[in-house]
Amino acid sequence: MFFIGRNIISGTGALQFAGGGFGRSGFQSLFARVNYDFASKYFLQASVRRDGQSSLAPENRFGIFPGFSAGWRISEEKFWDNSKFLREWFSDVKIKSSYAVVGNQLTGFPYLSTFSSAAYGNLPGLAPNLVGNRSLQWEQNKKYDVGVDIALKGGRYNLTVDWFLNDLDKLVLAVPTPNSAGIPGNSISQNIGTARNNGIEVSLGGDIIRKKDFTWNASWNHTVLTNKVLSLYTIGGNPVTNIPGTYNLLNVNSSLNVLWGLQYAGVNTANGNPMYYNAANQLVQHNIANGAFYFANGKNDPTFGAQTTLGVADRRFLGLSLPTYFGGFNNSFRYKNFSLDVLIRYSGGNKIMNITRQEALLSQNFHNNGVEILNRWTTPGQVTDVPRIVQGQSNAINQVGVATSRFVEPGDFVRLQNLTVSYTFDSKKLNEKTNGYIRSLRFFIQGQNLAVWTKYTGLDPENASQAGQDNAVSPQLRVISTGVSVGF
């Protein structure tokens, strides 16, 4: 009873289990770098890393990753100095390019075959829970970058533009195996698949206002990003072009982990049943009474057409799980001894599958519902997107475990990330009045994550997983602090 009361032993009846776990992981790196600068005009850099990670077998644990970069400060050339226009407007211009190979660190120990406790009849025992692969190698990320750094109006403003391309190779993914093989989880991790990310980064900043008692410095950065799966694994020598999942799809020549599911068509106004579009864009009605699907004769017609099915073949693209753009806008205002710093971040272009809303907030079990359940269908002729409720029919009515457009929402947001107000005492007067004991004194109040503007109905659009899933995620903390900084 002592152990059961402390949750060390679990299980009921004759099958009780005791267990725990402990693991260590390690990362080792050696690197070297060489820089060359000629007349502050031409720049070369070369580096090499030898990284090792414990997630790979000892024979494949270490990888060699080189990098090269070059730069040309074109504003140091004579023809630039001879042009009054170029000198005045573009005081410093540098063209740059780089190439590097980077290794992606894995998690866990996918090269090991492991065991866990399992029941054998009514006796405790051990059984495999993972089949490892000692041939696993480093995931590689080949990075290309071309850009320009520009100082405008004598350095008052700065502009940076970069084009980048990242080729991901030897991606470690769980490759499905036949059920007849008896492999736990029906998959083994392998180095398969390639993907590509490319985009443009722009940053612009400088002093907008320069006055004796008032200054305003602003900076803005913006990134546009696209990604594409180039290849997956092969089965029997035939390339696999897509991997269907519960909510996502890995598809060659499309973005990574796109949301994939059923297209919701609303509620039948006559009987309150949910409706969907099949692959042929035909209207299909889900009869809650018997769980079967029928062709619908119309959104306002309670009668049923011929019985049909709604399955994997009827699922379609519902949105990108990864943002296509993101950035930030930082402002610093100074008026005499007062200062105000404001950081705003934004992101968008992606969609989120709100699993929390699907499974909990619109549950048919009459507990812990969200206010949206109040819009449920109740009378013939009512127009709503929330089907009628039937006790214990949440899984069928909400299609739990399957992505549907009903629960896919925009992930765009604008966040007031940081706001700081401070007052700094004049250091000269402070020294005089304290006989030099206090050299600086500053009071401040700071707020982090003060507000989020978004159409997403969940708690936090930024905390959804990389697969675009919100499954009971927690929002970011809002922190307000105040303090004093004193220099003696």
Biggest CA pair distance of the chain: 94
Per-residue pLDDT of 326-341, as tens digits, reads 999 999 999 999 999 9
In the predicted model, residues of the chain with pLDDT beneath 70 are 1-22, 366
Give one word for 405, left, alpha or beta, with left for phi > 0 and alpha for psi -120 to 50. Answer: alpha
d(CA 110, CA 240) in angstroms, rounded, equals 22
Q: What is the pLDDT of residue 421?
A: 96
For residue 215, give the DSSP letter: E
Q: Name the 3-class secondary structure at 383.
A: coil
Q: For the chain, give the number of residues.
A: 488
The DSSP-derived string for 424-481 is: E--HHHHHHHTTTS--EEEEEEEEEEEEEEES--SS-GGGS-TTSEESSPPPPPPEEE
49, containing H or E segment: strand 42-53
d(CA 224, CA 454) in angstroms, rounded, equals 19
Q: What is the pLDDT of residue 17?
A: 56
d(CA 344, CA 364) in angstroms, rounded, equals 39
Residue ranges of domains in the chain, CATH in brackets = 27-108+137-261+316-487 (2.40.170)
Give one word for 193, left, alpha or beta, with left for phi > 0 and alpha for psi -120 to 50. Answer: left
Q: What is the pLDDT of residue 193?
A: 84
Per-residue pLDDT of 20-69, as tens digits, reads 666 788 999 999 999 999 988 999 999 999 999 999 999 999 999 999 99
For residue 273, give the DSSP letter: -
Q: Exposure of 224 by Cβ count < 10 A (0-12 exposed, 13-18 middle, 19+ buried)?
A: middle
CB 89 within 8 A of CB 153: yes
Angle in degrees, CA 383, 386, 389, rounded to 5: 115
CB 323 within 8 A of CB 411: yes
Strands 274-277 and 283-286: antiparallel
CA distances in angstroms from 466 to 236, 367, 409, 461, listed in the order given:
30, 30, 15, 11
Who's near 363: CB < 8 A, 6+ residues apart? 369, 394
The per-residue b/e assignment along 405-418, b for 16 or more CB within 10 angstroms, e otherwise, is: bbbbbbbbbebbbb
Q: What is the pLDDT of residue 239?
A: 81
Question: What residues are paired with 276 via a beta bridge?
Answer: 264, 284
Q: What is the pLDDT of residue 23?
A: 74
CB 262 within 8 A of CB 268: no
Answering whether pTM is above 0.85, one says: no
